[in-house]
Amino acid sequence: GAVVSQHPSWVICKSGTSVKIECRSLDFQATTMFWYRQFPKQSLMLMATSNEGSKATYEQGVEKDKFLINHASLTLSTLTVTSAHPEDSSFYICSARAPGLAGQNEQFFGPGTRLTVL
Amino acid sequence: GENVEQHPSTLSVQEGDSAVIKCTYSDSASNYFPWYKQELGKGPQLIIDIRSNVGEKKDQRIAVTLNKTAKHFSLHITETQPEDSAVYFCAASRGGLSTLTFGKGTMLLVSP
């Protein structure tokens, strides 16, 4: 149980184009999903927290107009990188909070999406 | 905000040896401490977690200990195997709707 999928697993795009990444919770309903960015040999950096049916909360320094997040259902959140540039090349990982005991907050991670912007 | 320090950054052991990774946290209100294993090119996988009402938790070859007074927690892997080689991340959270704060990661290399 608690499986999270991402699509695509990797994508290459040209500078200036937009790319959409999907994150799905396959066997549970996720009221909250998170989007992280990870550079090589570094830790995970939280970009935004996405709650179903409401606007995402972005971390300081993350441009909300560049990284559009939509959480339209309890099993799907999308991250769109708009007008991508080479510096946006990174490993993007989503996670979903699994329902559990009150006050608990297990997060289960997707397999990640490797974005390369040429 | 929370700050999580993780050591060592790299750990090399022989197969069959034990490995210990340590993390310290700064926020005394943190009460949830998960550990993740990340293999190359993959997302992190939750391997074990501990909550602040427990001092130790074991799952086969993996154990986690928590010292709330000193604000540190450790991951212990016994009888290491080559397939244990990966990057391990600790994290801390206040629980509930709070976000996770990650350590910088430890690359564990298990040599056969």
pLDDT below 70 — which residues of chain B? none
More confident residue, B16 or A105: B16
- Interchain pair B41, A6: CB under 8 A: no
How far apart CA A76 and CA B87 sit, in angstroms, is 28
pLDDT for A104 equals 60
With beta carbons less than 8 A apart as the criterion, state whether A84 and A11 touch.
no
3-state per-residue secondary structure call for A54-98: CCCEECCCCCCCCEEEEEEECCEEEEEECCCCHHHCEEEEEEEEC
- Residues on chain A bordering chain B, Cβ-to-Cβ distance under 8 angstroms: 4, 6, 32, 34, 42-44, 46, 49, 93, 95, 103-112, 114
pLDDT over 60 (residue A62): yes
Provide the token pair at A57.
Answer: 């909360």
Average pLDDT, integer, range A69-86: 93
Which tens digit of pLDDT belongs to each residue from A14-45?
Answer: 999 999 999 999 988 888 899 999 999 899 99
Distances, alpha carbon B62 to alpha carbons A45, A109, B18, B52, B105, in Å: 26, 20, 10, 18, 17
pLDDT for A27 equals 86
pLDDT for A99 equals 64
Contacts of A117 (CB under 8 A, 6+ apart): A12, A13, A14, A15, A84, A85, A86, A87, A88, A89
pLDDT for A97 equals 87
- Across the A:B interface, residue pairs with CB atoms under 8 Å apart total 52
pLDDT for B85 equals 98
> CA of A97: which chain B residue's CA is closest?
B97
